[in-house]
Amino acid sequence: MPPRRAQAPGAPLLPVLALLPLLLGAGPQSSCLASPVPAAPLPAPGPCASQPCRNGGVCTPRSVTDQEHPAVDAEPGYSCTCPAGVSGTDCQFVADPCASNPCHHGNCSSSSSSSSSSSSSSSSSDSYLCICNDGYEGLNCEQPLPSIPTSGWTESMAPRQLQPVPATQEPDIILPRSQATVTLPTWQPKTGQKVVEMKWDQVEVVPDVACGNASSNNSAGGRLVSFEVPQNTSVKIRQDATALLILLWKVTATGFQQCSLIDGRSVTPLQAPGGLVLLEEMLTLGPNHFIGFVNDSVAKSIVALRLTLVVKASTCVPGDGHSNDIECSGKGKCATKPSEATFSCTCEDQYIGTFCEEFDACQRKPCQNEASCIDANEKQDGSNFTCLCLPGYTGELCQSKIDYCVLDPCRNGATCVSSLSGFTCQCLEGYFGSACEEKVDPCMSSPCQNNGTCYVDGVHFTCSCSPGFTGPTCAQLVDFCALSPCAHGMCRSVGTSYKCLCDPGYHGLYCEEEYNECLSAPCLNAATCRDLVNGYECVCLAEYKGTHCELYKDPCANISCLNGGTCDSEGLNGTCICAPGFTGEECDIDINECDSNPCHHAGTCLDQPNGYTCHCPHGWVGANCEIHLQWKSGHMAESLTNMPRHSLYIIIGALCVAFILMLIILIVGICRISRIEYQGSSRPAYEEFYNCRSIDSEFSNAIASIRHARFGKKSRPAMYDVTPIAYEDYSPDDKPLVTLIKTKDL
């Protein structure tokens, strides 16, 4: 089944609301519905005084050349800057309203009009027709058609109802079970009568789009409804209780598009429960256009509603088969298919619609560069379309690119670059703005932080930072310690400054000064103080020592004089005074008295500490073997007289020692014999033997002491060789009696 069609509001309107009282009583040939004569234009003082730019376009005299977006030249003297979606010399072309596919369940067709002299606007972005599929209605074919309720009707009284069905199905016809008729307020259904129920959508007030007197505040725009019905079928229009239909006119296609009652006639529907009925006699094959006026109690205004009822014939009218059929508006071939309830049309090129009633000049896509084609249905001369160009293109077919730089919009030596969306200016350094009209002030944005001072340097800036800050914009804290300001210490950052922690021995802001510890005169006894790092050193005089030279230095403290030598500490240096027989710095060298060969007559010299001993050959005696022995009595006394006294003492001591040794041996022998004889006897005998041993030990110790005794010397072991001699008498003086005794240390 071919689809239905609907038309959007926005076409030119005729003032009808002001004539409603006359229309309610006038016939279909009323002549008072003619369009008002437009007022004469006022004399224009300038090219834009006549307001040549339409659809919200802005008129600009051609003398102004620095517009942000160059406009398309219209005629000498002015140019029009069109809003989005509008193009043309005078902004007379709008975008294709069908580009967004507004028809949900149908086909969209543009319905712009610009030929009527009585219209106030020749185009609108809402000017389109929705040809709805079967079973849908509404401005955008978005609402399914409901079935008619049977409340208030009985089965015997209800007429047959037809539900909208797809074109491939037969209509669902419900026949009443009886022939009884019911007298209704206006409409009396007949037995077997077919009826299709529909409704106008809820009234919607569209401001500034009036179907009637545009200057009246008592009217407002309304809705479009498109519906298809089979042939020989009545239509029931349901009404809302808040919106009652007060007037219905059947108009031509042109009047329908322009919301005009010219060439129209009044139609009186029949009253039925819940709505109005249009009998099938009121409908002809093809489109039937109606304009109704509804009194909306909610909006408190009269709203115009437009209705298109398309009556579809079941079969084609027989023809010669060579020309186009009248069922298809003379622009296509009619064909009847057994599987379909009605005929269908195969339209010629550029014709569309259920009955090929609409010329589509955009079918061949004449617009270039992806421009939108807007079809103008009122013309069929091949030029009834308008191309809506994309940004950046111009021309009748949008075949040319717009050069936005032709007017040189960029200033201050900037370079203009044209693109599809407009132009851009590449500014020279130091300028900014869309046309590079502003000069750059580098300090305007206050780039210097932390109270820094900004100075202009051409197109750049420099910052003079506050103490403690650094960087191009004074955003960084100064790292004072990075430069190592502390000469002898460690640097610590403190806020916007620093502090030096000095090493021991240094002071000052930068630890650059050394403490002079010698200022306190720590050195004593005329010593010299030498300043050191974190300390001092005392250089003492020769006779002093110590950290502060506080100690007197004894020159003999470190000198060891051996062999009985003594140290002389007079002066700065100590000197050893050696005992007789020794020499050297420390008296460690024994003087060899034999070096001078003191022994005569081939005597042998034996070196002794602090002396020597001569071993004389036979016949010679004396300290140096200088005495020759004379074995005569006359010389004996002289020999004894000349003998040294100490030699006599030695001889006497030796005799005493020998006597004591013999006595000890005797006592020890007696004690041992007593121990053998009285072995095992009483305790007193044993104690006597023990006492003998004690006496033996005491005598042994005494003998050892005598053996080690030496006159004026330390005790040392010695043995003596004694040569006995004969003598006659004693010496009369105190000289030793024995002189011919030689001693030898072993």
pLDDT at 407 over 50: yes
Mean pLDDT of 261-270: 83
Burial of 502 (0-12, 13-18, 19+ CB in 10 A): buried
Tell me which residue of 55, 39, 35 sits closest to 116, measured CA to CA: 35
Q: What percent of the chain has pLDDT over 90?
A: 9
Question: In this predicted structure, what is the pLDDT of residue 151?
Answer: 36
> What are the distances in angstroms from CA 458 to CA 429, 432, 439, 440, 701?
10, 15, 11, 9, 123
C-alpha to C-alpha distance for 642 and 731, rounded to whole angstroms: 10
Count of H-run helices and E-run strands, the chain = 5, 54
Q: How many CB atoms lie within 10 A of CB 327?
A: 25
pLDDT at 682 over 90: no
Domains and CATH numbers, the chain: 315-358 (2.10.25.10), 372-401 (no CATH), 480-514 (2.10.25.10), 518-552 (2.10.25.10), 566-596 (no CATH), 630-746 (no CATH)
C-alpha to C-alpha distance for 722 and 549, rounded to whole angstroms: 64
Q: How many CB atoms lie within 10 A of CB 396?
A: 15
Q: pLDDT tens-digit profile of 635-650? A: 455 555 555 666 777 8
Q: pLDDT tens-digit profile of 4-61? A: 343 333 333 333 443 443 333 333 333 323 333 333 333 445 778 778 888 778 888 8
Question: In this predicted structure, what is the pLDDT of residue 611?
Answer: 84
Burial of 564 (0-12, 13-18, 19+ CB in 10 A): middle
Q: How confident is the model at residue 465 (pLDDT cuts 50, 70, 90)?
A: very high
Helix (H) or strand (E) segment spanning residue 266: strand 265-266
Burial of 43 (0-12, 13-18, 19+ CB in 10 A): exposed
Cα distance from N-terminal residue to C-terminal residue, the chain:
166
**b/e map 19-30, b = 16+ CB within 10 Å:** bbeebeeeeeeb
Q: How confident is the model at residue 200 (pLDDT cuts 50, 70, 90)?
A: low
Question: In this predicted structure, what is the pLDDT of residue 94?
Answer: 65
Tell me which residue of 730, 729, 704 sits closest to 716, measured CA to CA: 704
Q: pLDDT tens-digit profile of 91-146? A: 876 666 665 677 777 777 654 333 332 233 333 334 566 766 666 677 777 777 65
Tokens of 225: 């409804």
User: CA angle, 311 as apex, 310 and 317 as ends, to 5°?
Assistant: 125
Q: How confident is the model at residue 663 (pLDDT cuts 50, 70, 90)?
A: very high
β-strand pairing of 78-81 with 358-359:
unpaired
Tokens of 118: 């009585």
Least confident of 326-335, 452-461, 660-669: 326-335
Question: In this predicted structure, what is the pLDDT of residue 324?
Answer: 63
